[in-house]
A and B are shown apart, each in its own frame.
Chain A
Amino acid sequence: MSDMALNTPPEPGALELEEARQDNRSRWLLALPALLIIGCFATLPLLVMLVYAFLTPGDYGNVVWKFSTDGWVAVLLQRDIFDDTLMWADAHLSIFWRSLRLSLITTVLTLVFGVPTAWFIATRPREKRQFWLFLVTVPFWTNLLVRTIAIQELIRSEGVINLILLKIGIIDEPIQMMFTDFAIGFGMTYVYLPLMVLPVYAAVDKLDFRLVEAAHDLYAGRWTAFRRVILPLIKPGIIAGSILVFIPCLGAYVTPRVLGGGKNLMFGNLIELQFGAGRNWPLGAALSLTLMAIVMVALIYYVRVTSREREDV
């Protein structure tokens, strides 16, 4: 009896509690490197930006430690040079509008091209899919700038497309495609297409095709089956793809710079301008945070709208 009493293990409840505590600790330890990186290189810089946005620009860039809301005001408004009245900053507004418009168009275009592509890949025999997925991801292996310049070669006035069209006599003089919104949209669609294809592919791959058969069995034609059964089921992939395309598009820098030229700025170029030639870091910081806010609002709205369910009959 006494032996047994000596060897009695701690209460089962206490033991489990101790185990759970250790479990929890090791999980935190595992997450620590990631948390450190996020803290140092994502949260901290954002805080720096937030502080900068409320300071005064220095004469040669940088900031002067003097509180000011001018940076925020300048996001949307500008002061008249002569009489100091405030008015809408038309240049900024048109850049915001272009960014929004081109990002939306790019998202829609990548959807139009990406969903059928993803569908095609997901319906190949499993052993052949690797090849098609590989083809989709090949562009990732090449530098973005190089690819963008290659597009320039295609669409510039002396480029491949214009040369061919001229040769076969469809046009008399080259079409101006470079340095237009079209060029930016074209470039971004090309660059971001894989980011749409991959998540949609993953969603179609998970789709249970017996559900499609069930829809046909219940008198749904092809289009209705797509709209009522397939689309809702691959929606998570479409949402993920749209987010992955829309957000980087809003802040795109390289593509509009190379293909849009100096006139057709987008949000990213405007921000860059403030930290460079504009020497207005507080405005740059305020613009960056504004962009972030826009993205957040757009995201929340998008998820809300797309997760609405049909009502019961």
Chain B
Amino acid sequence: MPETALKTRPATTESETAVDVIGISKLFGSNQEIRALDDVSVAIRKNEFFTLLGPSGCGKTTLLRVIAGFEPPTRGSLHLGGRDISRLAPNQRPINTVFQNYALFPHMSVANNIAFGLEMLGKPKNDIRDKVTEMLQLVRMEELRSRRTSEISGGQQQRVALARALAPQPEVLLLDEPLSALDLKLRKEMQIELKRLQSETGLTFIFVTHDQEEALTMSDRIAVMNAGKILQVGSPREIYAHPSERFVANFIGESNFLNAHLSGNRVTLEAGGGTYEAVAPEGVADGKVSVLVRPEHASARPGEAAGEELAATVETVVYSGDATSLHLRLKTGETLKTKMPNGPEQSTAFGEGDAAAVTIAPGAVTILKD
């Protein structure tokens, strides 16, 4: 509904929900045999940069398309600011999308692309002109106003697509892997640009990506998806430091998975060493558990293990400039990667086949659900 799209946003508090996804399933195929979304529920807060992260085919784009209105959900409902919008057509939802390939209208100039949504809302001509100018300034494209969209670079097209989606002042902005077509340097620039736009406009951004680094650096909260389900929702720090299950841990960052024994809130590794304090997630009972240790949270020194250190053998030494990674073999046969920052000294103290003593930082052990 045009009116709702343009009504001024009320002052919001941190916890207010913008988009409420309630039990949405989406089945595809002639016999509904493909389950793209499987009973997905998530509440996206107002003014937050929310990222849907997952490998390709995990359902993140389908969820975005359901929110935009391009795909009707098979089951479940969708609320926007408390109102059920599940049955509304895309043009009736105060939600705009930045498409993966930008989908700029090739037969229109940059300015007319940005003006399109405003024209459809029936805004007066003067307001449209002013708003287009404002948007062009926002994305720093004033001088390309009357260019054809085919005459500008990928990064510039990206900015036009953003301006076009922001111009009608939607309540929610959806971004479908908008940076994937850009080269690395431009992608970094646009990441910062997007963050700036989000804080300047105060909009709710729902961002889809398969790039974990992008997700970690940009998001307020991340939902990690796999096989049509949301596995975990949390801040980048929570997701990275305390992944709830092996898939999440594996998908984000580098991981060591070790067998351990849980008793109360104390974990003992099978490979030996001391005990570590850790909070068990819901549904994990005492006994045999699987734990995660990030490589940068484990450090090694040459020599035999003593005290609470783990005994290991160096298998490979990988030098990568700022850091050195060691691939270690523990006495249980498990492998453990460590990553330690390089100091100013010339050479590493490790050789392949050497004995090493490993220390795991306190609080670095995370118990996984699976």
Q: Which residues of A contact B (CB under 8 A)?
A: 208, 210-211, 213-221, 224, 228-229, 232-233, 309-310, 312-313
Contact = CB atoms under 8 A, between A and B. Distances in A.
Interface string B108-135: 1101100111011100010011001000
B120 A233 contact: no
A214 B128 CA distance: 19
B273 to A, nearest CB: 55
Contacts of A221: 91
Given A313-B125, A313-B128, A219 B68 contact: no
Given A210-B103, A219-B121, A224-B120, A312 B97 contact: no
Among B95, B111, B112, the most chain A Cβ lie within 10 Å of the Cβ of B112
A210 B99 contact: yes
28 contacts: A210-B99, A210-B103, A211-B103, A213-B70, A213-B90, A213-B103, A214-B103, A214-B105, A217-B68, A217-B95, A217-B165, A218-B91, A218-B96, A218-B116, A218-B164, A218-B168, A219-B5, A220-B116, A220-B120, A221-B91, A224-B120, A228-B116, A310-B112, A312-B145, A313-B111, A313-B112, A313-B115, A313-B128
Interface of B: 2, 5, 68-70, 89-91, 95-97, 99, 101, 103-109, 111-112, 115-117, 119-121, 125, 128-129, 132, 145-146, 164-165, 168
A61 B30 CA distance: 70
Given A312-B111, A313-B111, A216 B89 contact: yes
Contacts of B128: 313
Contacts of A208: 103
Nearest to B116: A218
Contacts of A217: 68-70, 90-91, 95-97, 165
A104 B68 CA distance: 43
A233 B150 CA distance: 14
A312 B120 contact: no
Contacts of B2: 219
A229 B164 CA distance: 15
Nearest to A229: B105
Contacts of A312: 109, 111-112, 145-146
B111 A219 contact: no
A291 B115 CA distance: 44
Chain A at the B interface: mostly helix, strand, loop or mixed? helix
Nearest to A311: B112
Contacts of B5: 219
Lowest 3 CB-CB distances: which A-B pairs, in order? A218-B117, A219-B120, A214-B103
Contacts of B120: 218-220, 224
B101 A210 contact: yes
Contacts of A310: 108, 112
Contacts of A210: 99, 101, 103
A160 B120 CA distance: 49
A53 B101 CA distance: 58
B75 to A, nearest CB: 23
User: Which of B5, B108, B121 has the most chain A CB atoms inside 10 A of its CB?
Assistant: B108
B90 A216 contact: yes
Nearest to A221: B91
Contacts of A229: 105
B165 to A, nearest CB: 8
A309 B108 CA distance: 8
A25 B112 CA distance: 46
Contact of B91 (A219, A232, A233, A309): A219
B168 A214 contact: no
B101 to A, nearest CB: 7
Contacts of B104: 214
Contacts of B168: 218-219
Contacts of A309: 107
Nearest to A224: B120
Contacts of B145: 312
Contacts of A313: 111-112, 115, 119, 125, 128-129, 132
A213 B5 CA distance: 18
A208 B100 CA distance: 13
Nearest to B109: A312
A216 B112 CA distance: 16
Given A312-B145, A313-B112, A232 B107 contact: yes
Contacts of B109: 312
Nearest to A213: B70
Nearest to B110: A312
Given A218-B96, A220-B120, A233 B107 contact: yes
Contacts of A220: 91, 116, 120
Contacts of A228: 116
Contact of A211 (B90, B96, B105, B111): B105
A143 B168 CA distance: 57
